[in-house]
Homo-oligomer: A and B are copies of this chain.
Amino acid sequence: MDFEYFMNEAIEEAKKALNNDEVPIGAVVVLDGKIIGRGHNMVETNNHAFEHAEINAIKEAEDYVGDWRLDGAILFTTLEPCVMCAGAIIHSRIKTLVFGAKDVQRGFAGSILNVVDDGIFNHRVEVVSGIKFQECKELIDNFFNEKRKK
């Protein structure tokens, strides 16, 4: 599997968030080599605190397969998931989580805690990190640097 190809697709989603002045995070869900769900951060746009990139991508993938169980699916996301999204990844039975940049302050797939692969739940998620991390990190860092300037 070409991890960089799919992470680029997640980055494209993050750029859609950026264009809406949302924190630029994007995600795609891949099953059998095909993207079946895409999502980006839409918290401000839709006024829903839960509309993070990962949940929106998972929702689209679940609608595609007609099942809340995404057995065998791989989630690519530009930033290490927060506590809520880490939970959604477990609940939807994602097989593998691939993320770009770490979120050392709020990440729950290794930074603060690892809830996706620590044995609390029956289901465990494989984790791959650091794919195109520089580009993913710059997207976020530049966004907050610009906000601070204003």
Contact = CB atoms under 8 A, between A and B. Distances in A.
B91 A87 contact: no
Interface string A51-65: 000010011001100
A43 interface: yes
Among A44, A63, A68, A69, the most chain B Cβ lie within 10 Å of the Cβ of: A68
Contacts of A59: 48, 50
The range of chain A's interface size is 20 to 34
Interface in A14-41: none
Contacts of A83: 83-84, 86-87, 90, 108, 115
Contact of A47 (B66, B84, B113): B66
A21 to B, nearest CB: 14
Interface in A68-89: 68-70, 82-88
Interface of A: 43-44, 47-50, 55, 58-59, 62-63, 66-70, 82-88, 90-93, 106, 108, 112-113, 115, 120-121
